[in-house]
Amino acid sequence: MCYETSLTKELDFIEDYTDAEILYYGIYEPYYHVSGYTHPNLFCLPMEDPSNIYPMEWGLLPHMADLDIITYRKDYNNLIARGETLLQSKLYKEPARQRRCLILADGFFEPHYPNDNFGGKAVPKYCYLEGRKLFCFAGIYNEFDDEYWNVSLVTTDANDFFSKINNKEKRMPLVLDPAFEEEWLRKDLSDKGILDLVKYGFIKDEFKAHSVVNFYKCDFNTNRPEILEKVEENPNLFNE
């Protein structure tokens, strides 16, 4: 369900590729694996200011005057937003209409069950484009106190390829085709336009995927280049 992602490119490359500047210098460092459950910053182009790259904490928060963020995070993660029901959700419908963004990435991780009956442990698969090309997830965000943003990543029904990768949930993140990235940020995008992009906006380039070391429910540093290396199914952990 895409709770982990990577963005390994250097900042100069990202700024050249997006024709945008990082909002706060010194905050960005390339990463090889981050988990949404730790609520890291993702780096995003918001519809209100796509000429800048904003740090947005992963996990959308509701606008509540008395919100205790730490307590709320323990009960809800809101890391992903189901695209098909975006406009029916009390939490997601307003940001889906008014605060959409592009979330920068060059890879993500999906759980795969080697056994058809889903017995045993899931194996993480690293998913990426040819040459680990940069791409954009569709996202929605909220803003608090002018300098704190938080974001959810939009998902959709898996295509044939991702139905075999995420073979239990059969979902995939909405990686937008470059032809539709500006459309996602259009301020006058209609409800129908939003749902059409959820259904038809997935990138046309073909993804690749391979197994990586099984980091699920294990305690070691995954934010390093080795985490992206291809391994056999059911691999052992790092020998440290």
Per-residue pLDDT tens for 16-36?
999 999 999 999 999 999 999
- Of 204, 203, 224, 198, the C-alpha closest to 212 is 224
**pLDDT of 117:** 62
The domain 4-228 is classified under which CATH number: 1.10.10.10, 3.40.190.10, 3.40.50.2300, 3.90.1680.10?
3.90.1680.10
Give per-residue pLDDT as tens, 64-75.
Answer: 878 899 999 999
Where in the chain are the domains? 4-228
Q: Give the model confidence (pLDDT) of 41-56 as tens digits.
A: 999 999 999 999 999 9
